[in-house]
């Protein structure tokens, strides 16, 4: 059985199910530009939850994340600060905050190419899950808004309808993602060798190696090398570039081509 603390089910595919098949998407720098957790921190600052110097620290970590990829120390630092600040806040308030964060900061940062890949999986009947260190409330909002199957995310402990400032389990990161996905596979009867996984980070190698169709999107340098050495497909939507792509199934090719076209169009600019 899966680790229930990580799971939030949203919807089902729009086509008849492909038995045993699913796709798993990381969120930060894979599905969206930047880190969703930092946007949560920014929204909390706007609500007066912490000081300007603290907000500046979060902004600097966000800049580094976008420039060089995920740094687990930075992720943990923001997580610890957010947990401390969340203590005593109600679940309803956090859910409302997640909706605001999506509308104001995340929706415009979704990569069209990655979104098209997820939609193509749904179109042919595959379940699509988000797998992210982002708080489950925010991950669920993203999944719901994009019409995906559900989300696996980090869960804060709740008592009497309020967050305690502690986690249920640990942050959903690195090898923990592979464990959570294996749990979903066991519950849903998935054949992981017939499943896809998408990520930008070398830290997600355990997840990517778990499935039969690993794909690197906007990869950091270490993941790009690993993908090249293992002949994994690589897509880079950050500047409309495409790296070498090998073995990507036709079922997802249409979405990838759409995303790449959008990226190239941004670089070329409007035609005369």
Question: Which residues belong to the active site?
Answer: 26, 28
Element (H, E) at 267: helix 250-268
CA–CA separation, 100 vs 197, rounded Å?
28
Structure tokens at 264: 């190239």
CA–CA separation, 152 vs 191, rounded Å?
18
How many CB atoms lie under 10 A from the CB of residue 4? 12
Residue 25: DSSP 8-state: E
What's the distance, CA 100 to chain centroid? 18
CA–CA separation, 163 vs 137, rounded Å?
12
CA torsion through residues 171, 212, 189, 113, sign:
positive
HSE toward the beta carbon, residue 68, CA cutoff 13 A: 6
Label residues 115-126 b or e (16+ Cβ within 10 Å = b): bbbbbbbbbbbb
What's the distance, CA 105 to chain centroid? 15
CA distances from 221 to 35, 149, 202, 266 (A): 18, 30, 8, 24
Dmax over Cα atoms in the chain, in whole Å? 61
């Amino acid at each position: 059985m899966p680790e229930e603390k990580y799971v939030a089910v949203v919807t089902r595919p729009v086509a008849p199910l492909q038995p045993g098949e699913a796709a798993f998407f990381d969120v930060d720098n894979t599905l969206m530009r930047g880190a969703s957790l930092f946007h949560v921190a920014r929204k909390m600052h706007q609500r007066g939850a912490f000081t300007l110097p603290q907000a500046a620290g979060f902004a600097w970590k966000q800049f580094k994340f976008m420039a060089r990829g995920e740094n687990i120390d930075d992720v943990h630092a923001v997580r610890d600060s957010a947990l401390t600040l969340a203590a005593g806040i109600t679940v309803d308030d956090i859910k409302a905050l997640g909706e605001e964060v999506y509308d104001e900061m995340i929706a415009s940062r979704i990569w069209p190419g990655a979104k098209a890949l997820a939609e193509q999986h749904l179109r042919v009947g595959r379940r699509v899950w988000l797998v992210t260190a982002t708080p489950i409330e925010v991950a669920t909002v993203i999944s719901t808004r994009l019409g995906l199957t559900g989300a696996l995310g980090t869960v804060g402990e709740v008592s009497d309808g309020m967050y305690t400032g502690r986690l249920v389990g640990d942050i959903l990161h690195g090898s923990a993602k592979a464990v959570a996905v294996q749990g979903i596979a066991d519950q849903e009867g998935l054949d992981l060798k017939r499943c896809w996984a998408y990520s930008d980070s070398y830290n997600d190698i355990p997840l990517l190696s778990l499935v039969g169709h690993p794909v690197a999107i906007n990869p950091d340098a270490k993941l790009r090398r690993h993908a090249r050495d293992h002949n994994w497909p690589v897509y880079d939507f950050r500047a409309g570039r495409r790296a070498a792509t090998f073995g990507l199934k036709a079922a997802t090719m249409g979405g990838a081509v759409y995303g790449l076209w959008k990226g190239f169009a941004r670089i070329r600019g409007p035609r005369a």
